[in-house]
Structure 1
Amino acid sequence: MFNNNASSTVTDDRKEDILLGLGIGFNKRPGDEINKDKIEKIYYVQDNIQTNFLDLLNNVSSEVIDASQKIISLILGNEGEFNKKGILSLIEHISFEIDRTEKNIYLHNLMFSDVKIMYSEEFELGIKALEIIDEICYIRLPKDEAVYIALYFVNMQENHNSAYDTLKFIKGSIELIREYYGLELDELDLNTIHFITHLKFFAQRIFNNKTYHDDKMIEMYDYLINNHPKNVKYLNKLNEYIQKEFKYKLDNSEKSYLLLYWTKIL
C-alpha cells in the first residue's frame, strides 16, 4: 500500500500493477484483499519505468495523485488509455510545482502567449487543471502552469509528435508573417483560429512524412500568389525556413492551401 488512494497488487500472471481509487488503501495491509468497487484506474507498470513509478508513489501525497487522476480524466473521460510515462511525468511535475510554489519560487513561462493562441483548447484544460489542484491540494499554482499542463495534453494527443516542434513550426511561420506583412494576428478572430489550426495539422503531416498534393489547389496557385505583392517573398522565406528546420520542401498545392487560409486574414 502506498497511501489511502493507491495500492500495488500482483496479477495472476505475476505482473505488478498500480490501482488508484478513493480510499482503496485505507486501513489495508500487505496481503489484504482489495475492494474492486473502489478501483478507478489500473496502471500496469513494468520494464524500466516500474521502479520510478513505485518510488514516486511513495514520495508524493495522495492529494497530488488524486489531482493528477482528475486532470487526466479531462481529456480521456471514461475511455482511452493513458501512456504510463505520461502519468508518471504529470504526477512528478505537479508535485514539484507545488513544492516550488510553497517556497515562493515563480518562473515565467516564455511560451505563454504562443500556447494560448496555438493550443487554445488545451490551454483552457490547463486552466481547469489548476482549479482541480487548488480544489484538491489547497494551493493555487500560477497561471503560467496552465501552459505546461496544456503541453502534456498536446503530447498525449499527438503521441510521438513533439508539441515543442509543432510550436516551433507555428511560431516561425507567424514570425515571418509579422516580418513580411507587418501584421499582428488577432487570437480571437475566427480566420486566425482557422489558419493556426491548419498550421498545426500541416506540422503534424510534416512530422509524419505525409505529403499533400491537390491538383485543384495547384490550379489556384497563380491567382493566390498574385493576390498580394508580398505573398511570393513570404512563401519563399517560409519554404526556406521549413527546409532548414524540418527538412521538408513545400509543393505548390501546399503553398496554395496556406495562402487560401492566409488571404482571409489580409
Structure 2
Amino acid sequence: MNNNLVLAVNEHDEEFVLFGKGIGFKKKKNDLVDKSLITKTFLSKDNQNMVAIIESIQPDVLDVTEKIVTYGEGQLNKKLNGSLMIALADHIQCAIDRQKQGIDLPENTMQWEIPFLYSKEHELGKYSLEQIKTELEISLPSSEAAFMALHFVNAQDGVESMDETIFITKILKSIVKSIQTLFNVSLKKDSLNYSRFVTHIRYFMNRHLHNKVQESNENEKLFDIIKEQYPKSYACSLVIKEMLNSDYNIDVSNDELIYLIIHIERVVSDTQALE
C-alpha cells in the first residue's frame, strides 16, 4: 500500500495489514515480507475479506490511523485489540466520504454522554480529529470524536462487536445516573477511581454477555461486613441490581455486589472530597 504498510497473507491464507518502517519499500505482489521490519500487525474481525475492506480505504487514511492507534496505546498504557486499526480506519474513511458528499449524520444523544462516561477515550477521539486535520488537511465534525472514542473502548474489552460496546455504554449510563441521583453528586470523571469503576462495569457486563459469570457463596461474611460498613453504597447497589434485573434481565450475585459497593463508595468519596 505504501512504504510502511502492506497487505499480507500467511501460510494459512489469513489476511493481515502489517506496519513497519520501510516494510513495503520496493515490494511487489507475492514478495516475502521481512519479519524483522514488522512493528505492528492488524487483522480483521469475523473473517471479513481484508482485501475488500482495504480497497475502500485510502493508504494515507491507514497511515494516519496507525499513528493514532500507537498514540492511543501509549495514553491508555495497554495493548489494544489488533482489529482496531481496520475498524477505526474504516470509520474515518466513511466520515471523510460523508463529508465530501455533504451528508450529515442525525444527532445522537450518545455523543453527549460519551465524554463523561469515557473521558480518556474521548480525548483520544479529539486527538484523532486533530491528526486527521494535520495529516490529511480534512476537518471532520467535532461530534465524530465521540464515535471514534467508542472504537478505543471496544478495542480494550474483548467484546464481540461495536453493538455490544454501545449496549454496555447504555447500561453504564443508567448505572452512573442511579449513583448520581441517589448521592446527589456529579461524579469526578477524571479521577483514578472513576476510571477503575468504569473498567469494572465494562468487564462485569462482558462476563454476563458471554456467560462467564461464576456463582459462589464463599464471600457471604465479607458481604455482610461491606454492606454494614457502607450502608448508602449498599442501598445504591440494590437499586442498580433491581434496574439490571428488571430492564436487562441480568442477575447480580452478592459476590458481584461486594465489588460494586466498594467501587461506588470510592468513586462517590472522590467527588464529595472536592465539594
| TM-score strictly above 0.5 | yes
Q: Is the 8 A contact 1:221 1:255 kept in 2?
A: no
Q: Is the 8 A contact 2:180 2:187 kept in 1?
A: no
CA RMSD of aligned residues (A): 3.8
Q: Is the 8 A contact 2:168 2:205 kept in 1?
A: no
- The match for 2:144 is 145
- The match for 1:257 is 262
Following superposition, the deviation at residue 200 of structure 1 comes to 3.5
- The match for 1:156 is 155
Q: Partner letter of residue 70 of structure 1?
A: K
Q: Is the 8 A contact 1:178 1:184 kept in 2?
A: yes
Cα separation, 1, equivalents of 2:185 and 2:268: 14
CA deviations on 1:21-47 (whole Å, 9 max, x unpaired) are 566556654456767786554446798
Following superposition, the deviation at residue 172 of structure 1 comes to 0.9
Q: Is the 8 A contact 2:117 2:198 kept in 1?
A: no
- The match for 1:119 is 118
| Structure 2 length-normalised TM | 0.72
Cα separation, 2, equivalents of 1:238 and 1:47: 34
Q: Counterparts of 1:40-119 in structure 2 under 5 Å?
A: 40-43=39-42, 48-49=47-48, 51=49, 53-76=50-73, 80=79, 82-84=81-83, 86-107=84-105, 108-119=107-118
- The match for 1:240 is 242
Which stretch shows the higher mean deviation, 159-168 or 93-102? 159-168
| Structure 1 length-normalised TM | 0.74
- The match for 2:186 is 185
CA deviations on 1:156-205 (whole Å, 9 max, x unpaired) are 11112743243222211222345545x35154574xx6256325404423
Cα separation, 2, equivalents of 1:256 and 1:46: 36
Cα separation, 1, equivalents of 2:174 and 2:46: 39
- The match for 2:210 is none
CA deviations on 1:222-264 (whole Å, 9 max, x unpaired) are 3532x59xx74x4443221122315222426356425533652
Identity %: 23
Q: What are the ranges of 5 or more consecutive residues in structure 1 without an aligned counterpart? A: none
Q: Counterparts of 1:19-38 in structure 2 under 5 Å?
A: 19-21=18-20, 25=24, 29-30=28-29
Following superposition, the deviation at residue 64 of structure 1 comes to 0.5
Change (3 A) 1:263 1:59: closer
Cα separation, 2, equivalents of 1:16 and 1:256: 45
Whether 1:215 and 2:221 are equivalent positions in the alignment is yes
Following superposition, the deviation at residue 7 of structure 1 comes to 3.3
- SS of the equivalent of 1:152 reads helix
Query: Is the radius of gyration larger for structure 1 or structure 2?
Result: 1
- SS of the equivalent of 2:252 reads coil
Cα separation, 1, equivalents of 2:79 and 2:226: 41
CA deviations on 1:193-222 (whole Å, 9 max, x unpaired) are 625632540442353225684734522423
Cα separation, 2, equivalents of 1:45 and 1:170: 27
Change (3 A) 1:166 1:215: farther
Change (3 A) 1:21 1:187: same
Change (3 A) 1:99 1:55: same
